[in-house]
C-alpha cells in the first residue's frame, strides 16, 4: 500500500492513537474544570465556543479506540514478525519486547473499560463515584500507550530507544504535554480545595 509495509502502517496508527489520546486527555481535563469561566476561553473566537467539548471528548475517544485496535491488527498481518492474536492480547510470551507490548495491551483494555462505562445504559447502573474512579483510568491510559510507543522498537529488533527519532519525538512531545497538563490540573484542584475551605470557615 503506497510502498508501506504492514509494520509501517501499524506504527503510523500507533502514533495517531497517541496524539488522539493526548488530545482526549486535554479535553477531559477541560471538562473537569470550570473552563468556560476561564479568561483564555473568553478570548477564543465565538465559532470555537460553539463546539460541544463533551461530544468532542467522546468522539475522539471512539476514534482513538479504532486506531488502538487497528494498530496491533496490522502487526499481526505482517507475517515477518511472528506476532499472533494471542501475543497481542496476552503478550507475556510475545516474540519480542513482551513487557513493552504489555503496556500497549493494558492501555487498550483500560480504554475499552472507560468507554464501556461511559455509555448511558452502564453509567445509570453504577454510582457516580464508581464511574468517576473508573474514568480516572483514562489518565493512565494515555501514559501507558506513550511509554509503549517510546520503548518499543518500530522494527521489532530489540534495539534500544533512539530518543532523537522523529517518531519518538511525537511521543516525547505528548508525554510533556500530559505531564504539564497534569500539573496544571493538580494546581487547579489545590486552589479549589483552599477556596472551599475558606468558604466553609
pLDDT tens digits for range 103-161:
999 999 999 998 998 888 888 888 888 888 888 777 778 888 899 999 999 888 888 88
Provide the pLDDT confidence category of residue 74 given band limits of 50, 70 and 90.
very high
Any domain includes 149: yes
State the residue range of the domain holding 128. 6-200
Assess if residue 130 is contained within a domain.
yes
C-alpha R_g of the chain? 19
Residue 82 lies in a domain: yes
Residue 67 forms part of a structural domain? yes
Distance of CA 54 to the CA centre of its chain: 16
* Residue 116: inside a domain: yes
What value does the mean pLDDT of the chain take?
87
- Give the confidence band of 9 by pLDDT, cuts at 50, 70, 90: very high
More confident position, 199 or 162: 162
Residue 87, domain member (yes or no): yes
Q: Which residue did the predictor score with more confidence, 49 or 87?
A: 87
1 falls within a domain: no
**Residue 30 placed within a domain:** yes
Segment 162-175 shows an average pLDDT of 91
Q: What is this structure's pTM?
A: 0.86
Instruction: Quickly list DSSP for 129-198.
Output: HHHHHHHTHHHHHHHHHHHHHHHS-TTSS-PPP-TTSHHHHHHHHHHHHHHHHHHHHHHHHHHHHHHHHH
Largest CA distance in the chain: 67
Number of domains in the chain: 1
Amino acid at each position: 500500500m503506497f510502498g508501506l509495509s504492514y509494520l509501517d502502517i501499524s506504527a503510523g496508527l500507533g502514533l495517531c492513537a497517541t496524539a488522539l489520546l493526548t488530545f482526549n486527555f486535554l479535553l477531559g481535563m477541560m471538562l473537569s474544570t470550570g473552563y468556560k469561566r476561564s479568561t483564555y476561553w473568553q478570548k477564543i473566537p465565538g465559532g470555537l465556543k460553539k463546539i460541544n467539548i463533551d461530544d468532542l471528548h467522546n468522539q475522539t475517544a471512539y476514534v482513538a479506540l479504532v486506531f488502538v485496535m487497528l494498530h496491533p491488527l496490522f502487526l499481526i498481518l505482517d507475517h515477518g514478525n511472528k506476532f499472533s492474536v494471542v501475543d497481542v492480547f496476552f503478550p507475556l510470551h510475545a516474540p519480542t519486547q513482551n513487557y513493552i507490548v504489555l503496556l500497549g495491551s493494558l492501555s487498550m483494555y483500560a480504554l475499552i473499560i472507560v468507554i464501556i462505562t461511559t455509555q448511558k445504559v452502564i453509567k445509570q447502573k453504577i454510582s457516580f463515584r464508581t464511574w468517576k474512579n473508573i474514568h480516572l483510568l483514562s489518565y493512565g491510559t494515555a501514559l501507558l500507550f506513550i511509554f509503549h510507543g517510546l520503548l518499543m522498537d518500530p522494527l521489532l529488533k530489540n534495539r534500544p530507544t533512539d530518543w532523537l527519532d522523529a517518531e519518538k519525538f511525537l511521543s516525547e512531545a505528548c508525554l510533556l504535554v500530559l505531564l504539564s497538563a497534569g500539573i496544571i490540573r493538580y494546581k487547579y484542584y489545590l486552589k479549589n480545595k483552599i477556596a472551599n475551605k475558606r468558604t466553609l470557615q
